[in-house]
Chain A
Amino acid sequence: MSDTPLTPQERRLQVLLRILALVFGLAAFGYLLPALVGPNKAFFIQLPFVTNSAVKVSVFALLSFLAAGNVRRFRPMTELVIVGHIISELAVFATLIWGNTSAPVSLVNPLTGSLLTFPIATALWASVILDGVVIALLVWFYLAAEQARYGLSYLSPMQFRALVALAEALVDGKDEQLPPEDIARHVDRYLAAFRARMKWIFKLVLTSMQLYPLLTLQPPLTVMEPADRYRFLKRRFYTEISLVPRLWRFLVKGMIRVAKQMAYLGYYNDPRTFASVGYVRFSQRPDTPDKLVQSPPPPRQPLRVLTASEITTDTLRGDVVIIGSGAAASVLAHTLLAKGRDVLMLERGDYVERSQMTDNEAEMLSKLYADGALQLTRDFELQVLQGSCVGGSTVVNNAVSFELPPQVLERWNDPQLYNSGLDTHQLMESFARVRQLIRVQQQNHPHLNKGARPVEQGIKRLGLDETPNVFHVVEANIEGCYGCGYCNIGCQFGKKLSMLDVVLPAAQQMRGPEALRILAGCEAHKLHGRGNTVTGVSCRLSNGRRLEVSGNTIVVAAGAISSSILLLRSGVGGTQVGKHLAFNMGSPITAVFNEPINAYDGLQISHYLQLSPSRGYVLETWFNPPVAQALAMPGWFDDHYNNMRRYNRLSSIGVLTPTASNAEVRAAGVFRREIAYKPTPSDLATLVEGLILAGRIFFAGGAVVTMPHTWDYYEFTHADDLERLRQIIRQPGDVTLGTGHPQGGNRLSKNASQGVVNPEFRVFGYNNLYVCDASVFPSSIGVNPQLTVMALADYAGQLIA
């Protein structure tokens, strides 16, 4: 890096530093000379400030001179000049506030001999202005030089260097494939690529981590020697985390979690690392050409999507305005169009068509996920993944399709419980229609998750496949799957029959692009109304413009989190909005095998196990491309690195537990968007039981090591050792938790005091406002919910039309 020529911005800083060195040098003489000669000798010679000031500006002159010699190598000297001036400013301000500055100063003008008299305060204010100008110029030139040097798009130079320092420690192996600067640069580009309110939290984390050592009287992270930094991070953020006071322990844990995510994303997204972990991209796998020839990708169905730049008016009107374009919104639009209504869809995310999808995980995460896949609960302990693009989560999910479990529907309709008032017969018809629409089918093809083979063996050896247990290949709306393993970053081959690929094009074909208008990059902010009628919605386009959308019927279908936020921001839906949110809480367990199994080469989720009678969880075989797998990989520092080195010998099982409805969405906090959730002890215990069973299955299937994703790293080598998990996982922070299935928040109920929407999906108290998505679920359904979301949308469509 130091060998590359200086950028113009760095040269500009160099010039400024040389000028300052000269000016400071002259200033030193300016202080000393009147004390030695001239008419003011008597005044200057007696003042201590003269020597102090002469020393101060001389030091600044020397520092500036040295810094100008090599602006890169002697960068800290520039920083010292800036910090020195800031301290000087503070000292002068203190004097102005608390000192006696009214006394006059009388000096003789050495050229004219006239007497100049002015108060000391005037001299001090002049110093404030001069120092202020120096600080402003230096900071400006310094930041520009640093940004240009590193080619940064989002992070500040200090944050960038902090990330480099963190990456150097966190990606800890003997044969690292890329330097930490490259890791940090990848992260900078990733963060610059997406729009999210939460993004600045990354800057905050990096700044905090840089300065955190100061609390323990140690130098900032980037100034530490690498070995000291490594020890510091390991000790303060991992091994001795329990010594951190409870009140800010979650913040410290949150910081290191975020730092880990950044470092691993930056490292494992680079193709230079792929060979070292044993990963082969789909495009380079030997059987890929054959697969593409045997079953070519289906032709892309035309879909007309309006973008923000195409909207030239400040207002837009639709018949039915649907907020969202995901599973519920798309099926609903399809149904409404079939019934003769015109639809205008508003989607916050971008339109990413198939041809724009790649196998670059970081790029796709930034393009397709809400908040770039960074959505976390308030305490940073549960990651809530949701798609944010035209097609919503169906573009990035695993397409796994489960029917609504009958016992769940029974509970929903129970008058003593949720009293949903759903017509069971009509709902079953909707399920059938949706299955046909998105062509749900059992994934009986040769390209299943290869990691499922040992799982299957283990299940059979333990006798868990016997009836009434269900161990099956999943059903999914996937047709002719190649097994590329990229379901979660968008199917570029059109094999996943998502809303983007099937339902929206079909709906638009049915009545034309005028009858179904889809506007991407349009975030709904607030609903407006008059009495019981909602008249429209205020939106902000991705280019920053405001747009007022009006309609006869407004349907909020933005997903469990965003729908609740919109209602809360608009003051709609009474006191129940955002409450009773639940999840399918998931946590993985990873197993190591002696032989390569290349679990990445196949359908990501291919099998599931449901025990009967239910123990409250479902197990699903699961695997990911390197970045996602690294983010879910247990271990710290060298343990994590070594685990990733055996990536092609790993297999994972995800344990899915339906949670109690004790979470809440709030229009609160720094982002006015907050998910408050703490798993109940019972939900956590159920999850632990699931992890233990999954571990046992792995051992029965031939695994040599299993690793749950716990905060403290454990490798289990024997099935009985897994029982220790009951002691290890006692708090939510002891294990990594995630979900792609938030449900509830705007409960469906006949009873207005219990729910937000009535059995017609209409918000209580409004004539024309509906909510239709997973947020209306009265409780978590315990299995992948997309089919239920779609079936409810079809059901609702019959009522809304």
Chain B
Amino acid sequence: MASFWGMGNGLGEYILVLLVYTAMVVLMRYAHPRVELNFRRTYWILCIAWGLGVFIGNYLFYLIRILSFLPWLNNALHAFVWIGLCLSFLYAGCYKKPIWEQCLLFIIFSFLVKVGEHWILGTWDLPFDYRVKGNLAYLIGWSVLDGLYPYVSMVGLKWVSRFVQGVIVPQAIW
């Protein structure tokens, strides 16, 4: 069960994690309260693609020792709910902004959630002492990688739009 919940974790901890996600979405909604009708198909494509990709990717990254083990429930919530639903929601609201601004937003939100998960669940814990002491470098490193979401999404959607109608391909503004 430890591999599912994580050591010492229970329902209460995961509810707290979901509350952190909710708080982030509340913040995101200030800028853009909903997914625009014309972006909805694109949104669901992003949700599924990122959710599946991150869920599998996280495990593979663990196998090659560049990511700490994420308990299965944590991995599923992080991949499908946070990255899939929440970050895609953020993307739906900011894809018209300059790409650097988008990346910065993604880095900040990812970092906050990783810190939250680290505090609550004890995950995202891999000493990675690169000039920054403790676990912080590791958290920052993965958050910066999450900051690539907008760029990867843009490229991905360009490719998907060749096969699926009604997909919006964001134009990069640098």
Minimum Cβ distance to chain B for residue A551 (Å): 15
Chain B proximity of A475: nearest CB distance (Å): 41
Chain B 21-32 interface mask (CB, 8 Å, partner A; 1/0): 000000000011
Q: Do B37 and A572 touch across chains, with their CB atoms under 8 A apart?
A: yes
Is A574 a contact partner of B36 (Cβ separation < 8 A)? Answer: yes
Mark interface residues in A211-225 (1 if CB within 8 Å of B CB, else 0): 000000000000000
Question: In the assembly, what is the distance between CA of A348 and CA of B165, in Å?
Answer: 33
In the assembled complex, the Cα of A570 lies from the Cα of B36 at a distance in Å of 8
Hey, which chain A residues are within 8 Å of B36, CB to CB? Answer: 571-574, 765
Q: Which residues of A contact B34 (CB under 8 A)?
A: 571
Q: Mark A505-542, 1 if CB is under 8 A from B, else 0.
A: 00000000000000000000001111111100000000
B49 at the interface (CB under 8 A from A): no
- Check if B168 sits within 8 Å of A571, measured CB to CB: no
Q: Note all chain A residues with C-beta closer than 8 A to B37.
A: 527-529, 534, 570-572
> Smallest CB–CB gap between A543 and chain B, Å?
28
Looking at A528, A571, A572, which has the most chain B CB atoms within 10 Å of its CB?
A571
Q: Kindly state the separation between the CA atoms of A534 and B32 in the bound complex, as whole angstroms.
A: 21
- Given the known interface contacts A571-B40, A765-B38, A766-B38, the answer about A532 and B166 at a Cβ–Cβ threshold of 8 Å is yes
Q: Which residues of A contact B165 (CB under 8 A)?
A: 530-531
A534 / chain B contacts, CB cutoff of 8 Å: 37
Which of A528, A530, A570, A572 has the most chain B CB atoms closer than 10 A to its own CB? Answer: A530
**Does residue A575 face the partner (Cβ distance < 8 Å to B)?**
yes
With a CB–CB cut-off of 8 A, which chain A residues contact B31? 575
Contacts of A575 in B (CB 8 A): 31-33
Residue B105 interfacial (CB < 8 Å): no
Q: Tell me how far the C-beta of A570 lies from the nearest C-beta in chain B, rounded to whole angstroms.
A: 6
Q: Kindly report which residue of chain B lies nearest to residue A534, judged by CB atoms.
A: B37
CB distance from B142 to the nearest CB of A (A): 31
A229 to B57, CA, bound (A): 74
Q: Which of B32, B33, B35, B38 contacts A531 (CB 8 A)?
A: B38
Nearest B residue to A528 via CB reads B37
Min distance, Cβ A354 to any Cβ of chain B, angstroms? 39
**By the criterion CB–CB under 8 Å, are A533 and B166 in contact?**
yes
- When C-beta atoms are compared, the residue in chain A nearest to B36 turns out to be A571
Chain A window 539-581, contacts with chain B (Cβ cutoff 8 Å), 1 for yes, 0 for no: 0000000000000000000000000000000111111000000
Rounded to whole angstroms, the CA-CA distance of A229 and B102 in the bound complex is 64
Cα–Cα, bound, A233→B37 (Å): 50
A574–B33 CA distance with the chains assembled, in angstroms = 9
Asked whether B167 is an interface residue with its Cβ less than 8 Å from the other chain, the reply is yes
Q: Is B118 positioned at the interface, with any CB of A under 8 Å from its CB?
A: no
Per the bound structure, the CA–CA distance linking A571 and B43 in Å amounts to 13
Shortest C-beta distance, B35 to chain A (Å), equals 6
The smallest beta-carbon distance between B75 and chain A, in angstroms, is 30
The distance from the CB of A488 to the nearest CB of chain B, in whole angstroms, is 37
User: A529 touching B33 by the CB < 8 A rule?
Assistant: no
Once the chains are docked, how many angstroms separate the CA of A575 from the CA of B34? 9
Tell me, in angstroms, the Cα distance from A34 to B126 when the chains sit together.
79
**Interface size class for chain A?**
10 to 19
- Least CB distance from A108 to B in Å reads 52
Q: Report B121 CB to chain A, min CB distance, Å.
A: 33
Q: Is A530 touching B41 in the complex (CB atoms < 8 A)?
A: yes
Cα-based distance from A528 to B166 in the complex (angstroms):
12
- Distance in angstroms between the alpha carbons of A532 and B40 in the assembled complex: 10
A568 nearest in chain B by CB position: B34
Task: From B32, B33, B35, B166, give the contact of A530 (CB < 8 A).
Answer: B166
Bound complex: CA A531 to CA B164 (Å): 10
Give chain B nearest CB distance to A548 CB in angstroms. Answer: 16
Measured in the bound complex, the distance between the Cα atoms of B34 and A534 in whole Å is 17
Complex interface: chain A residues within 8 A of B32 (CB): 575
Q: For chain B residues 1-46, which have a beta carbon within 8 Å of chain A?
A: 31-38, 40-42
Which residues on the A side are within 8 Å of B38 (C-beta)? 529, 531-533, 572, 765-766
Output the nearest chain B residue to A765 by Cβ-Cβ distance: B38
A574 to B92: give the CA distance in the assembly, Å. Answer: 11
B168: A residues at CB distance < 8 A? 531-532
Closest B residue, CB atoms, query A532: B38
Closest Cβ–Cβ distance, residue A672 to chain B (whole Å): 14
Q: With A530-B165, A532-B168, A533-B166 in contact, is A571–B35 under 8 Å at CB?
A: yes
CB distance from B22 to the nearest CB of A (A): 19
Give chain B nearest CB distance to A514 CB in angstroms: 30
Least distance between B37 CB and chain A CB atoms (Å): 5
Within 8 A of B (CB), among A169-228: none
Please report the C-alpha to C-alpha distance between residue A572 and residue B165 in the assembled complex, in whole angstroms: 19
Q: Measured between alpha carbons, how far is A568 from B105 in the docked complex, in Å? A: 26
Query: A531 vs B37: C-alpha distance in the bound complex, in angstroms?
Result: 7
- Interface positions, chain B 56-96, Cβ under 8 Å from A, are none
CA distance A528 to B38 in the complex (A): 9
Distance of A530 Cα from B31 Cα, bound (Å): 24
CA distance A247 to B34 in the complex (A): 31
> Bound complex: CA of A99 vs CA of B16, how far in Å?
37
Q: Within 8 Å CB of B40, what residues of A? A: 529, 571
Residues of B within 8 A of A531 (CB): 38, 41-42, 165-168
> What residues of A have a CB within 8 angstroms of the CB of B35 in the complex?
571
How far apart are A571's CB and chain B's nearest CB, in angstroms?
Answer: 5
Enumerate B119-174 residues with CB–CB distance to A below 8 Å: 165-168
Interface of chain A residues 569 through 627 with chain B (CB within 8 A): 570-575
Hey, which chain B residues are within 8 Å of A571, CB to CB?
34-37, 40
Residues of chain B with a CB closer than 8 A to A530's CB: 41, 165-166
Which A residues lie within 8 Å of B166 (CB)?
529-533
Q: Which of B31, B37, B41, B166 has the most chain A CB atoms closer than 10 A to its own CB?
A: B37
Query: In the bound complex, how far is the Cα of B31 from the Cα of A574, in angstroms?
Result: 10
B157 to chain A, nearest CB (A): 11
A528 — which chain B residues lie within 8 A by C-beta?
A: 37
Chain A residue with minimal CB distance to B161? Answer: A531
What CA separation (Å) do A529 and B40 show in the bound complex? Answer: 9
User: Can you list the 7 inter-chain pairs with the closest CB atoms, starting with the nearest?
Assistant: A531-B166, A530-B166, A572-B37, A571-B34, A571-B37, A529-B37, A532-B38
Q: Hey, which bits of chain A sit against chain B, CB under 8 A?
A: 527-534, 570-575, 765-766
Residues of B at under 8 Å CB distance from A? Answer: 31-38, 40-42, 165-168
Other A-B contacts than A532-B168, A572-B36, A572-B37, 19 sampled, CB-CB below 8 A, are: A528-B37, A529-B37, A529-B38, A529-B166, A530-B41, A530-B165, A531-B38, A531-B42, A531-B165, A532-B38, A533-B166, A534-B37, A570-B37, A571-B40, A572-B38, A574-B36, A575-B32, A575-B33, A766-B38
23 A-B pairs, CB-CB below 8 angstroms?
A527-B37, A529-B37, A529-B40, A529-B166, A530-B41, A530-B165, A530-B166, A531-B38, A531-B41, A531-B42, A531-B166, A531-B167, A532-B166, A533-B166, A571-B35, A571-B36, A571-B37, A573-B36, A574-B36, A575-B31, A575-B32, A765-B36, A765-B38
